[in-house]
Structures are given as C-alpha cells and as structure tokens.
C-alpha cells in the first residue's frame, strides 16, 4: 500500500493535475470568507463547501491521472485493483488535509472573528466530513465509472450541488444548516455527520470498485 501511495503521489505531483483544483479552492475560499466578521462557524461552513467541491474535482483528477493501459499495468503489479483505488483515495485525502488546514486558518487571518477551540473543532469536523463526501463523489464521477469526460464533469457538478442542497440527504446539508444558525450547539451531531461522511466514502469506494471491475 505504501508503494502504491508513493507511486500515485509521485504521478500526481509530476502531472500537476492538482494545481487547478487547488487554485480553484483558494479562489473560492477567498471569495466566500474574506473580510467576514460573522460567527466563525458560519464562515467555516462556507469553507466546507469549498472543500467539498474541490475534493470532488481533485479526486476525479487523481483517479483519472493514469491512462487505462497504465492502470492495467499497476493493477497487475499490485495483484488487485482495490490497492490502486485505495492509493488514489489516500493521495486525495492528503491534499484534502492541506485544504482543511487552509480552510481553518485563512478565515481567522482574513476576517474578524472570535476564535474558540469549539468552533475550530466543529469547523475541522465539518470540513473533513465534506472532504470525505467529496472524495466519494470524485470516485463516482471518475473514468472508472463514467467513460466520457464531458458527462463526468456534468455528473460531478450535479452531485456536488445535490449533496449541498438536498435537505433530506445527510450529512452535508444538515451539517451546514446547523453551522449557519440551525443548531450550533449540537456537537454530538457532528460525530454523526462525520460518521455518515465516512460511511458515504466507503460506499462510494465500494460502488466504484464494483463498477470498474465490471467495465474492465
């Protein structure tokens, strides 16, 4: 697994496919959070949306980085197709951790907020949950599932908007609603949102693997 992670990370860094989603993340974060003086948790909700959108884009880019024939070689050398997918998820998660660190610190630096440990912890939980959901969505709109790049972009956009706006769909909408004034004190709820995010990530990974094996 370590070897697959190193290979995938090296390929991503050489290809520079991470640059566009990371620049988009920084731009989105700056637009949504700069010079804000409202409650910090509300600003972190906007940062979490940025993380969600960019994690989706980044993960799709990481999974798609290998041409099908290159992926075949890696799968044969690894002995299975789960390892390379898991490595792509791990590399995407590494970039997402970077996004979360920026997403937590930039609003504090750029705006005027009362910073509390509780706000930072809840903000971190929310952004990491959004990262998990974004990675899951990225896998689902990658080449492993959707063969045509144009369709993949449209599906990615629809999925991101869907999870942000769909009220009955946990964990993103209820979590963002709670952060922006719904139930800011419900700390225990964030554990549930994080668990739901991880569950979604696992389900999306399993679905991607299932579909990829059948399409191969």
Partner 1 sequence: MLTLQSVSKRYRPGRPVLVDVDFATAPGMVQAVTGGNGSGKSTLLRVLAGVSRPTSGTRTGDPGVIGYVPDRFPTNTRLSAEAYLAHMGRIKGLSTARSAERATELLTRLDLVGGPKTPIRELSKGNAQKVALAQALLMPPRLLILDEPWSGLDASAHGVLAQIIVDTARAGGAVVFTDHREAVTGGLATEVYRIEAGRLSRQALPARVHDTASEVLLRATRPQATDLRGLAGMRSLEATGDLVRVRVDRDRCDALLLTALQGGWTVDGVRHNDAAVPPNLLGGVAAGANGLGGVSGVSGGVGGVGSGNGVGSVGGPANPIGGQR
Binding residues for partner 1 (CB under 8 A): 3-4, 6-7, 10-11, 14-15, 66-67, 69-70, 72-78, 81, 213-216
Q: Nearer Cβ to partner 1, position 78 or 153?
A: 78
Shortest Å, Cβ 12 to partner 1: 10
Minimum Å distance from CB 97 to partner 1? 23
SS3 194: helix
Nearest approach in angstroms of CB 129 to partner 1 is 31
Nearer to partner 1, 166 or 216 (CB): 216
- Residue (167 or 214) nearer to partner 1, CB: 214
Tokens 């909408």, residue located: 173
Alpha helices in the chain (DSSP H): 2-15, 19-33, 40-64, 68-78, 82-110, 117-140, 149-165, 172-179, 187-215
In whole angstroms, what is the distance from residue 191 CA to residue 186 CA?
A: 10
Q: Is the peptide bond before 18 cis (omega within 30 degrees of 0)?
A: no
Question: In angstroms, rounded to a whole number, what is the distance separating the alpha carbons of residues 18 and 144?
Answer: 19
* Min dist. Cβ of residue 77 to partner 1 (A): 5
Nearer Cβ to partner 1, position 164 or 211? 211
Q: Give min distance, CB of 40 to partner 1, in A.
A: 41
Element (H, E) at 175: helix 172-179
Helices and strands, number each (H, E), in the chain: 9, 0
Nearer to partner 1, 18 or 200 (CB): 18
Q: Which pair of tokens denotes residue 63?
A: 């999974």
């Amino acid at each position: 697994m370590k070897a697959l992670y190193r290979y995938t990370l090296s390929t991503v860094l050489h290809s520079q496919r991470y640059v566009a989603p990371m620049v988009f993340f920084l731009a989105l974060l700056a637009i949504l959070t700069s010079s804000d003086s409202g409650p910090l948790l509300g600003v972190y909700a906007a940062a979490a949306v940025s993380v969600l959108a960019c994690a989706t884009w980044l993960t799709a880019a990481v999974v798609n980085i290998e041409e099908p024939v290159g992926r075949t070689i890696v799968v044969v050398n690894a002995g299975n197709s789960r390892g390379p997918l898991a490595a792509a998820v791990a590399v995407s998660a590494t970039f997402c951790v970077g996004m979360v660190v920026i997403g937590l610190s930039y609003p504090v630096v750029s705006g005027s907020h009362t910073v509390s440990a509780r706000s930072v912890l809840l903000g971190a939980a929310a952004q990491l949950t959004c990262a998990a959901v974004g990675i899951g969505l990225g896998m689902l709109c990658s080449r492993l599932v959707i063969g045509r790049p144009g369709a993949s972009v449209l599906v990615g956009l629809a999925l991101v908007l869907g999870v942000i706006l769909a009220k009955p769909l946990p964990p993103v909408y209820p979590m963002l609603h709670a952060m922006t004034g719904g139930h800011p004190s419900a700390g225990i709820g964030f554990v549930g949102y994080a668990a739901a995010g991880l569950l979604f990530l696992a389900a999306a990974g399993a679905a991607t693997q299932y579909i990829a094996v059948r399409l191969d």
